[in-house]
Amino acid sequence: MEHSNCCLMLFITEQLKVLKIKVKYFAGFRTITGKKEEKIEIPQKTTISRLLEKLKIPGGEKKLILINGNRQPDNYHLKENDEVSIFPPIGGG
């Protein structure tokens, strides 16, 4: 019984870990957020999709998200010290 309590506590502790990341906003997203950048803490295993919800970035808004300068899928789990850049779509012609 003691072993299972230990494992449960370890599981809970693991789930409660927080990560520090930097979020940078560009163009219209600076207007939406009122910020150029911010450092925030997020729970471990937070995905890009969940981060956007937390930041209240409108889901219908088209956007380009880069993690440390690279595109990642929306289900990518953010890591300690990641730099998240949020851009409006870049068009050309």
- The residue with tokens 């970035």 is 57
User: For the chain, how many structural domains are there in total?
Assistant: 1
The tens digit of pLDDT for each residue in 20-52 reads 999 999 998 898 889 999 999 999 999 999 999
Residue 1, in any domain of the structure:
no
Residue 80 sits in which domain range?
Answer: 18-87
**Eight-class DSSP state of 48:** H
pLDDT at 1: 45
Please count the other Cβ atoms lying within 10 Å of the Cβ belonging to residue 47: 16
Half-sphere exposure (CA, 13 Å, Cβ side) for 52?
Answer: 22
CATH number, position 60: 3.10.20.30
| Mean pLDDT score of the chain | 85
Do β-strands 64-67 and 70-71 pair in parallel, antiparallel, or remain unpaired? Answer: antiparallel
Output 79 or 90, whichever has higher pLDDT. 79
Per-residue pLDDT at 15 exceeds 80: no
Residue 61, in any domain of the structure:
yes
Is the pTM here over 0.75, yes or no? yes
Average the pLDDT over 47-60 and give the result.
87
- Measured distance CA(33)–CA(1) in Å, rounded: 49
